[in-house]
Amino acid sequence: VDAEWPRPLDGRTTPRFVSARGLFRLPFRESAAGLDVALLGLPFDGAVTNRPGARHGPAAVRAASQLIRGYNPATGADPFRVARVADLGDVNATPLDLAAALEAIATRVAEAASAGARVMTVGGDHLTTLPVLRGLKRAGALAAPLGLVHFDAHSDTADANFGSPLGHGTPFRRAIEEGLIDPARTVQIGIRGSGYGPDDLAWTTAAGVRVIPIEECETLGPAGVVAEARRVAGGLPCWLSFDVDCLDPAFAPGTGTPEWGGLTPREALAMLRGLAGLDLVGGDLVEVAPAYDHAEITAIAGATVLFEMLCLVAAPRGR
């Protein structure tokens, strides 16, 4: 056949967990040119500290997202009618070289942002958020450090994991140090689990981050959490980062570092929907690890959360 005819991808150069169908049944596109929102898979889990497998997250979320319809009856959001959205596929992030993988992610994100698209990514472990933010900065898409609304069981502001400054427990420490995120406009929602001591979050709170542990989520209720998130992060551009382990493991078993006693789906939905109107430049969904999933529970949660996030990010600006 002629040389241009597509051949199967080569497993020696393109990892075999790269996907075949677009998120939300959207077409795959090579370029972000002309897009309002570019969706991008980040199948990388080389920075996990416990159970690996989030490299398969983009494929699982893509598969589960085939179920999602285009309209959100609860909010009236109609993302695919107000924004040009496409799936740019997965970044070829090698699992064998951490620095090279992060650079590949930053490069691809910078390309998409430079084309004028807002970027949303599907991980991958939570370290992938760091090169995403670096890519935005490289593209000139950050006039100032972003605010951050961060759903997670974990603060991810450790100084190191096993001596490495780059682990899935460190991305927001690095992002704050690199001036990508403004700690005074950062809110972390759902933090919980056993710790190492009373000073675990001393650096984080001293930096000015507003931590809302799961116990305070309970007393505030979703509306109170939303009000606090808007107070801290609102008014200026911000990023939305959703670690699926913020949900209780009953609702998201397929993840690397599960913590019992987490958010319910309806609490998470209420909180996400309450963020409508924030100036969200983009967002990420991370830590879906399908090998520990059952009946696609976590993949469906991830796809649904990604859709709710898209409803927010795709909304027209200037409201």
Q: Which is nearer to Mn ion, 89 or 282 (CB)?
A: 282
Rounded to the nearest angstrom, the gap between the alpha carbon of residue 90 and the centroid of all alpha carbons in its chain is 14
**Minimal distance in Å, beta carbon 81 to Mn ion?**
32
**Minimal distance in Å, beta carbon 151 to Mn ion?**
9
245 binds Mn ion (CB under 5 A): yes
**Minimal distance in Å, beta carbon 80 to Mn ion?**
28
Q: Which is nearer to Mn ion, 87 or 156 (CB)?
A: 156
Give the helix ranges, DSSP H, for 128-253: 129-138, 171-177, 202-206, 214-233
Rounded to the nearest angstrom, the gap between the alpha carbon of residue 76 and the centroid of all alpha carbons in its chain is 23
Instruction: Return the range that interacts with Mn ion (CB under 5 A); candidates 93-101, 121-129, 180-188, 309-317.
Output: 121-129
With a CB cutoff of 8 Å and minimum separation 6, the contacts of 218 are none
3-state DSSP call for residue 279? coil
90 binds Mn ion (CB under 5 A): no
Instruction: Return the range that interacts with Mn ion (CB under 5 A); candidates 38-46, 68-76, 230-238, 243-251.
Output: 243-251
**Minimal distance in Å, beta carbon 48 to Mn ion?**
10
152 binds Mn ion (CB under 5 A): yes
Distance CA 259, CA 245 (A): 7
**Minimal distance in Å, beta carbon 92 to Mn ion?**
23
**Minimal distance in Å, beta carbon 256 to Mn ion?**
8
Distance CA 256, CA 55 (A): 11
Distance CA 260, CA 176 (A): 28
**Minimal distance in Å, beta carbon 49 to Mn ion?**
10
Q: Which is nearer to Mn ion, 38 or 252 (CB)?
A: 252
Per-residue string for binding with Mn ion, 288-307, x by CB under 5 A? --------------------
Distance CA 279, CA 176 (A): 19
3-state DSSP call for residue 144? coil
243 binds Mn ion (CB under 5 A): yes
Q: Which is nearer to Mn ion, 245 or 284 (CB)?
A: 245
153 binds Mn ion (CB under 5 A): yes
Q: Which is nearer to Mn ion, 154 or 185 (CB)?
A: 154
3-state DSSP call for residue 221? helix
Within 256-295, the residues that bind Mn ion by CB under 5 A are none
Closest by CA position to 262, among listed 220, 201, 213, 205: 213
3-state DSSP call for residue 137? helix
Q: Residues 87, 90, 111, 156: which binds Mn ion (CB under 5 A)?
A: 156
Tokens describing residue 206: 């001293």
Q: Strands 37-42 and 85-90, how do they pair? A: parallel
Instruction: Return the range that interacts with Mn ion (CB under 5 A); candidates 54-62, 72-80, 156-164, 209-217.
Output: 156-164
Q: Which is nearer to Mn ion, 243 or 267 (CB)?
A: 243
Q: What strands, in cross-sheet order, belong to the sheet with 210-213?
A: 85-90, 37-42, 118-123, 280-286, 238-243, 146-151, 181-191, 210-213
Q: Which is nearer to Mn ion, 69 or 215 (CB)?
A: 215
3-state DSSP call for residue 208? coil
Instruction: Return the range that interacts with Mn ion (CB under 5 A); candidates 77-85, 118-126, 157-165, 216-224.
Output: 118-126
154 binds Mn ion (CB under 5 A): yes
The tally of CA atoms less than 13 A away on the side-chain side of residue 147 is 20
Residue ranges binding Mn ion (CB under 5 A):
126, 152-154, 156, 243, 245
